[in-house]
Structure 1
Amino acid sequence: MARSSSGFVAGLTAAAVAAVCFLAYQASANVPADLSAKPKAPSTAAPSTSPSSGPKQPVRDPLAVPADSGTGERVVYGLADRRVWLVNDSGKATRTFTVVPSTVSPPPGSYAVTSRSGTVRGSDGVQIEHVVRFATTQDVAIGFSAAVDGSLPEPDPAKRTGGVRMKRADGNALWTFAVIGTKVVVVP
């Protein structure tokens, strides 16, 4: 009986090894090309340009605070970047995040937080929280806020709104950082 048991165990072991090999082959055959390729070493050659695309722009570090945004502790709002930086008194970004701008934007310049509201209804009818207002442009109050429902829709271009929307977690961070009087610098 010992011979038949050892033969049975050897057969099961061979079948298990064959199954594992088959599954390993299937997994390697289904790997996307970009995951199976070896990482490329950084090139020291000059970037090539094609007549249709022009030279490639270097990718800017999103944590890098815009150079023309002043000094000291401040909130920096980049209109073109659609991004906010929370900058400490050493000039380093402690947090940065993307935003959805309003239909009315403040002109570039330096402002200060003038008022705050915990929760209100936005000019677009959406319930918002952590409203931090810092400017008035074209009779529209401009401020940062987050929708209570977490949505980030593009504003209706037919309406004049001043809410610069962000994710709720970013709104919480900005609310903690930007008290009344905090400097807000708007850059192009």
Structure 2
Amino acid sequence: MSVPARRLPSWVWVTGLTAAALVGVTALAAQADQGAHPVAQAKRPKSSASASPHPSASPRKSAPAAVPGGSGTGRRIVYSLAQRRVWLVDATGAASRTFTVWPGTVSPAPGRYAVSSTDPSTTGTDGTKVENIVYFTVRSGVFIAFSNAQDGSSPQPSPGARTGAIRMHSADGDAVWKFGTKGTPVSVVG
């Protein structure tokens, strides 16, 4: 007596094929991770800083991050809250410098601003001696400004402290100071 062949439901086939594909992709990814990693060589302006996602004393070389779309046109400072990154954009719309920053505990709302004033040095609300302060807005009673610590540190704000400091490395602070004269547009994006 012969037994009729039973056909498996299509969902069983799809599930099996999907699982096999995931195993294959995982194996290939693990293999690829073991090999050499090509690095694109991009010509960068001499004044360009690290394009590393996190500030560090030894910058990694990589292509500069693109200026965010919708950040305006012309000469401006662009600050991305999500990327924790600043771009100094020239009149042609090209970034002359980009670098990562350490934001304070109070962030500006996305929008368009202008540099309202500058201060060569002061003591920040967190007690850190800072320089190259470039103010552009106030939020919840807290002044928001780009600056760098005079000693080059990147201190974390004290718990409960309300600071609008957007801190950066000293060389980047010098660049923002020279670029961000009173009235310079500042575009903050999410």
Query: 1:19-76: per-residue Cα shift (whole Å, max 9, x none)?
Result: xxxxxxxxxxxxxxxxxx6667xxxxxxxxxxxxxxxxxxx95431000101010000
Matched to 1:88, the amino acid is: D
- Residue in structure 2 matching 1:120, options 106, 122, 126: 122
- Note the residue ranges of structure 2 that are not aligned, 5 or more in a row: 1-34, 39-61
Question: Which residue matches 1:156?
Answer: 158
Sequence identity percentage: 53
* Counterpart-to-counterpart distance in 2, 1:175 and 1:107: 22
- Residue in structure 2 matching 1:176, options 164, 174, 178: 178
Question: Which residue matches 2:90?
Answer: 88
Query: 1:94-144: per-residue Cα shift (whole Å, max 9, x none)?
Result: 000000001000100000000100010001000000000000000000000
* Counterpart-to-counterpart distance in 1, 2:118 and 2:142: 15
Q: Structure 1's 38 and 135: CA in aligned 2 closer, same or farther, altered over 3 A?
A: closer
Kindly name which structure, 1 or 2, has the bigger radius of gyration based on alpha carbons. Answer: 1
Matched to 1:145, the amino acid is: S
Output the TM-score relative to the length of structure 2: 0.67
Which 4+ stretches in 1 moved above 4 angstroms?
37-40
Q: Residue 179 of structure 1: SS of its match in structure 2? A: coil
- Note the residue ranges of structure 1 that are not aligned, 5 or more in a row: 1-36, 41-59
Give the superposed CA RMSD: 2.1
* Counterpart-to-counterpart distance in 1, 2:152 and 2:146: 14
Q: Residue 171 of structure 1: SS of its match in structure 2? A: helix
Question: Which residue matches 2:110?
Answer: 108
Question: Which residue matches 1:7?
Answer: none
* Counterpart-to-counterpart distance in 1, 2:173 and 2:104: 15
- Check conservation: 1:143, 1:164, Cα contact below 8 A: yes
